[in-house]
Copies of this chain bind each other. A is one copy, B any other.
Amino acid sequence: MKFAVNSSALEKLLGKVIPAIPPRTPMQVIEHFLVQIQENILTVTGTDLDMFITCTMNIDSDGDFEAIIPAKLFYDLVRSIPDSMIHFEAGDNKTLNLKTDSGVYQLGYAEATDFPQLPAVTYTKQVNIAGSVLKNAFDLTSFAASKEPMRPAMTGILFDFTDEGLKFVATDGHRLVRYIHKTLKFEEADQIVVPSKTVDILLKFVGDAQVAVSYTSSNVLFRFSDITMISNLINQKYPAYNSVIPLENENILKLDKKPLVSAVKRMLLFDSTSFPKVKLSLNESVVEVSSEDINKGSRGTESIPCEYNGAPMEIAFNTNFMYDVINHMEQDKLLFRFESPTRAALVEGLEPTEDKDVLMLLMPVRLNV
């Protein structure tokens, strides 16, 4: 078996599959790429058992081939070769020979027999979503997913297929993001919970073009350009997030995002505990953002102009959580809705948007602890 391929094109292909390869695993076989050549199509597959990424390209080969090849070595070698042709040839003794302009390389390979099988499921449901929508939704939600394995569903991103739109939801109990893509509506309600790792890898590779999303109750398949990504779903019911979102928060605060983000970020310096706290003191035309470290005698206060329609109020949040939330808001002007210092606060962009509806929720913390 012989074929030639451009190093940059192959690097690009392998670069899309390598994120599936686990960095450390006791199961040696999944530290390899499954490399298949069949009828002039090169297919490379990687897996961490939870997800499979497969990527293909057309080549001109004089024969078929199937083997597993050490993933990191193969990728690093191809990556280190400047843009030029690499000539492959299967050699004796299970070695794959690579010839470049200036060098000759041998990679040991093994039979593909032990490589894990793709899940044998039939995808009955399918929806096409613009890649740009997926990227935007993942970008604004995935940060809020829980890192706690105790409640598996909350470590994933909910895809909530509803008649109001396709809703993407992530929460860790302290904050929640709900992203509604309003132009895709579904008569039949359905929910799947996609692992964060899958979403984070997709975020890297999804372009603007359409993505075909197929799913069953146990698996989801994303197909776009030359990539197919199959992932297990999280097999747990997602919490009833709608009941957490308050409907009656009537104290409305409008202010600019930029000074708020930089003030909250600065407050992280003043409370270096593992649960840093920032206090907002709401007044008609100014909000004071403050934080302190009583032990060290240090304290910071920033004043930000605002419009606030409620009675003066003090409310506190975990500084990191608040920073994450406001930093992920896309609009320059923000609208907060408060009820009381002990109830959830809501954040949105001030301007309504046509196709989507992004709402973030922040749980307050006690003022005096």
Contacts and interface: CB of A to CB of B under 8 A. Distances in A.
A201 to B, nearest CB: 24
A105 B299 contact: yes
B103 A73 contact: no
A263 B302 contact: no
Interface in A314-345: none
Contacts of A94: 297
Contacts of A297: 93-95, 106-108
Contacts of A270: 73, 105
A303 B103 contact: yes
Contacts of A76: 269
A70 interface: yes
A265 B296 contact: no
Does more than half of chain A's interface fall in helix, strand or loop, or is it mixed? Answer: mixed
A77 B300 contact: yes
Contacts of A236: none
A105 B269 CA distance: 11
A140 B102 CA distance: 29
A301 interface: yes
A84 interface: no
Contact of A296 (B70, B262, B269, B300): B70
A259 interface: yes
Contacts of A95: 297-298
A220 to B, nearest CB: 35
Interface residues of A, number: 33
A305 to B, nearest CB: 9
Interface string A71-85: 001001100111000
Nearest to A93: B297
A41 interface: no
Contacts of A356: none
Interface string A93-135: 1110000001111111000000000000000000000000000
Nearest to A301: B104
Interface string A264-295: 01100110000000000000000000000000
B302 A265 contact: no
Contact of A102 (B77, B263, B296): B263
A58 to B, nearest CB: 27
A266 B103 contact: yes
A304 interface: yes
A263 B77 contact: no
A358 to B, nearest CB: 27
A102 B298 contact: no
A105 B292 CA distance: 9
Contact of A108 (B102, B266, B296): B296
A298 B108 contact: yes
Given A76-B269, A94-B297, A269-B80, A263 B103 contact: yes
20 contacts: A77-B266, A80-B262, A80-B266, A81-B266, A94-B297, A95-B297, A95-B298, A103-B263, A103-B266, A103-B300, A103-B302, A104-B300, A104-B301, A105-B270, A105-B298, A105-B299, A106-B297, A106-B298, A106-B299, A108-B297
Interface of A: 70, 73, 76-77, 80-82, 93-95, 102-108, 259, 262-263, 265-266, 269-270, 296-304
